Structure 1
Amino acid sequence: MRVALVTTTQHGHLNPYVPVVNALRAAGSEVALLLLSADGGALDERRRRALGRAEVHTIGQVEMAPWSGDPAKIGPMLRSSPVADRTAEALRATAADFALVDSLPVTASAMAGAQASGVPYGMIWANLGGVCPREHRRGRWPYDEQVGDYLTGHGVLWSARTHSARSPILNLMPAIPALLGNDAVTDNGVQLVGLPGAPGPRGDEVAFPDLDRTDPGRPVVYVSFGTIFYRRPDLLRTVITGAAATGAQVIASVGDLAGELALPDEVLTAPYLPQREVLRRADVFITHGGYNSVAESIRAETPMLVIPLAVDQPVQAHFVAGAGFGTALEPAGVTEQAVADAVAGLLDPARDYRDRLRAAQPECGDSAVRTAELVIGTVGTLQRKGEQ
């Protein structure tokens, strides 16, 4: 059995699929990873090693900037993209029995290519946009409508309730009921498969010896705005300073901004951190709301302050606050005092944040293994039908 997985080179999308690739391979499937290079990004050596012997093919380029520009340009951009044809060609060339497509707006052309290829395909998500009611995506509507018109014109199913694509065969949402509550839209047979990633190591983690420098008598606040959205030195400095004002030990992932931030020596920083390890030590996580970060924080039972900066992050902020796993603060409302007040509230045991996170643990599961089971089961069913 050969399975193709289509996604982008962005860490927030590639990272959660590394365990999926490995779970499929462990279950006996051959896997071809079809990558769209986002803003010229490439598969780095750590992630290449983590993927083991899976095939990797680059099928085209996508640019992020247009998705914050004039929405009217999105439709023409998608229609002129060569990605659809290249995706269809790659799926046929790899002789895939099934394709699993990362469903997000920038992969819309790849979805059209999967539809055109004739290869059976399913959808999987790397954020909560696929189950979020459209009223919470109001800021993205002009873009969503362009994507919906493009995809329906190519025969791809479209959920008007979520402004998201659907597969007629298999739709997998890496999420849990405790996070989504009663607010999720699971039309077209969307199945929840547990939180993204897997409980164990992914295989591309880095070291952070300074973690041993933290004072066990003080709460730890971990700050990270991810690998794309961190480049906001003024906002990052305000957040870190506000968190430190509570008396907490602050650990921050700052990319290449350390020289610009002028932080006190006691603030521990690194360009990139072993996030899951740091979260297990942290008492509060201040995050932009990328879904990988949210899921890892839930697994670590670490309450969150979500400061959503763009794209799908307001969706995650909505669900985190609704589940009582943390609170949210709009970027325009970020001051040192607002951050200090939010951190103090998250540290207050009377507010039960950790209790709710602890109660959710039995649902977290291993979404990679569950995804592999469902994909393999679906392919088996399709093959049996084809033999009848």
Structure 2
Amino acid sequence: MRVALLTTTQHGHLNPYIPVVNALRAAGAEVSLLLLSADGGVLDERRRRALGEAEVHAVGQVEMAPWSGPPEKIGPMLRSSPVADLTADVLRATAPDFVLVDSLPVTASAMVGARASGVPYGMIWANLGGVCPREHRRGRWAYDEQLGDYLTEHGVLWSTRTHSARSPILNLMPTIPALVGADAVTDDGVRLVGLPGAAGPRGDEVDFPDLDRLDPDRPLVHVSFGTIFYRRPDLLRTVITGAAATGARVVASVGDLAEELALPADVLTAPYLPQREVLDRADVFITHGGYNSVAESIRAATPMLVIPLAVDQPIQAHFVRGAGFGTALEPAAATERAVADAVTDLLDPARDYRARLRAAQPECGDSAARTAELVVSTVRALPRKEEQ
């Protein structure tokens, strides 16, 4: 059995799929990873090692910037992109039995290529957009309309209730009922498979020895705006300073901004942190709301302050707040005082944030193993090629 998984080089998309690739291999599948280079990104050596013996194929280039530019340019950009043809060519050349496509706007052309290739395909999500009611996507509607028109004219199914693509065969949402609740749109074939990633390490984590030297009796706040959206020094400085004003110890992932931020000496910073390890120790997580970060915080039972910056992050903020797993602030409202007040609220045991998160732990599961199980059973149920 040969299975392909198509995603981008963005850490927030590639990271949760490393366990999926390895779970598929453990289930006996030959796996190839098809990578779209997002904004010129590449597969770094740590992540390549974590993928083991899986084949890796570069498919083409996609750009993030147009998805924050004029919406009317999205349709023409998608129709002129070579990614659809490149994806179809790679799939025909590698001839997998099934391809699982990371469903997000920048992979839309690849979805069209997957359908054109004739290879059976399924959808999987790296955010909650695939189950989020469309009224919570109002800020993205103009982009969604362009995307929906493009996909439907090429025969890809489109959910108008969530403004997202669908597969006719398999649709997998790595999430849990405790997070998305009754608000989620799942009655059109979407299956919940547990939170992203596996319960254990991915294999590409970095070291952070300072973590062992922290005072265990002092509240710990972790701050991270991810690997793409972190470059907002004024906001990041305000958030870190506000969190530190509560008396908590702050550990922040700041990319290459450490010198520019000029933070108090008591704040620990690093370009990139072993986030899961830090969250296991943290009392509060201040995040931009990337779904990988949200999922890791839920697994660690760490309450969140979500400050959504772009694209799908307001969707995650909506569900986190609705589940009682944390609170949210718009970036414009994130003053030092507002951040300090939010952190103080999240640290208050009477507010039950951590209790709700702990109650959700039995649902978290191992979504990588569950995804592999469903993909393998789906492929086995497909008609054999000689029967088609």
Distance in 1 between residues matched to 2:113 and 2:385, nearest whole Å: 24
Distance in 1 between residues matched to 2:56 and 2:310, nearest whole Å: 29
**1:188 CA drift (Å):** 2.5
SS at match of 2:217: coil
The aligned residue for residue 17 of structure 1 is: 17
Per-residue CA shift, 1:174-226, capped at 9, x if unaligned? 00000001100114210000000000000000000111221112100000000
The aligned residue for residue 362 of structure 1 is: 362
Distance in 2 between residues matched to 1:387 and 1:300, nearest whole Å: 48
Residue 317 in structure 1 maps to residue 320 in structure 2: no
Residue 251 in structure 1 maps to residue 270 in structure 2: no
> Number of paired residues?
388
How is 1:330-369 mapped onto 2 (pairs within 5 angstroms)? 330-369=330-369
The aligned residue for residue 49 of structure 1 is: 49
| Contact 1:99-1:120 within 8 A present in 2 as well | yes
Q: Which amino acid aligns with 1:333?
A: A
Distance in 1 between residues matched to 2:214 and 2:263, nearest whole Å: 16
The aligned residue for residue 7 of structure 1 is: 7
| Contact 1:321-1:327 within 8 A present in 2 as well | yes
Distance in 2 between residues matched to 1:199 and 1:343, nearest whole Å: 27
Q: Which amino acid aligns with 2:328?
A: A
- Structure 1 runs of 4+ off > 4 angstroms? 384-388
Q: Which amino acid aligns with 1:26?
A: A
SS at match of 2:382: helix
Per-residue CA shift, 1:88-135, capped at 9, x if unaligned? 111111111000000000000000001101000000000000000000
The aligned residue for residue 203 of structure 1 is: 203
**1:38 CA drift (Å):** 0.2
Distance in 2 between residues matched to 1:279 and 1:306, nearest whole Å: 15
The aligned residue for residue 186 of structure 2 is: 186
Q: Which amino acid aligns with 1:283?
A: D
The aligned residue for residue 82 of structure 2 is: 82
Distance in 2 between residues matched to 1:276 and 1:173, nearest whole Å: 21
Residue 221 in structure 1 maps to residue 216 in structure 2: no
The aligned residue for residue 119 of structure 1 is: 119
Cα RMSD, aligned residues only: 1.0
How is 1:258-337 mapped onto 2 (pairs within 5 angstroms)? 258-337=258-337
Distance in 2 between residues matched to 1:169 and 1:336, nearest whole Å: 48
Distance in 2 between residues matched to 1:181 and 1:382, nearest whole Å: 32
Greater shift, 121-130 or 376-385, is seen at 376-385
Distance in 1 between residues matched to 2:145 and 2:65, nearest whole Å: 18
Per-residue CA shift, 1:25-55, capped at 9, x if unaligned? 0111001111000000000000000000100
Distance in 2 between residues matched to 1:53 and 1:358, nearest whole Å: 36
Q: Which amino acid aligns with 2:131?
A: V
Q: Percent identity?
A: 86
How is 1:157-168 mapped onto 2 (pairs within 5 angstroms)? 157-168=157-168
Distance in 1 between residues matched to 2:387 and 2:372, nearest whole Å: 23
Unaligned runs of 5+ in 1: none
Residue 70 in structure 1 maps to residue 54 in structure 2: no
Unaligned runs of 5+ in 2: none
**1:136 CA drift (Å):** 0.3
| Contact 1:170-1:189 within 8 A present in 2 as well | yes
Distance in 2 between residues matched to 1:239 and 1:102, nearest whole Å: 32
**1:264 CA drift (Å):** 1.1
Distance in 2 between residues matched to 1:356 and 1:207, nearest whole Å: 30
SS at match of 2:108: helix
Q: Which amino acid aligns with 1:70?
A: P
| Contact 1:46-1:204 within 8 A present in 2 as well | yes
SS at match of 1:188: coil
The aligned residue for residue 91 of structure 1 is: 91
The aligned residue for residue 149 of structure 1 is: 149
| Contact 1:168-1:188 within 8 A present in 2 as well | no
Distance in 1 between residues matched to 2:290 and 2:213, nearest whole Å: 27
**1:68 CA drift (Å):** 0.3
Per-residue CA shift, 1:252-303, capped at 9, x if unaligned? 0000000001111110000000000000000000000000000000000000
Per-residue CA shift, 1:50-83, capped at 9, x if unaligned? 0001000111000011000000000000000000
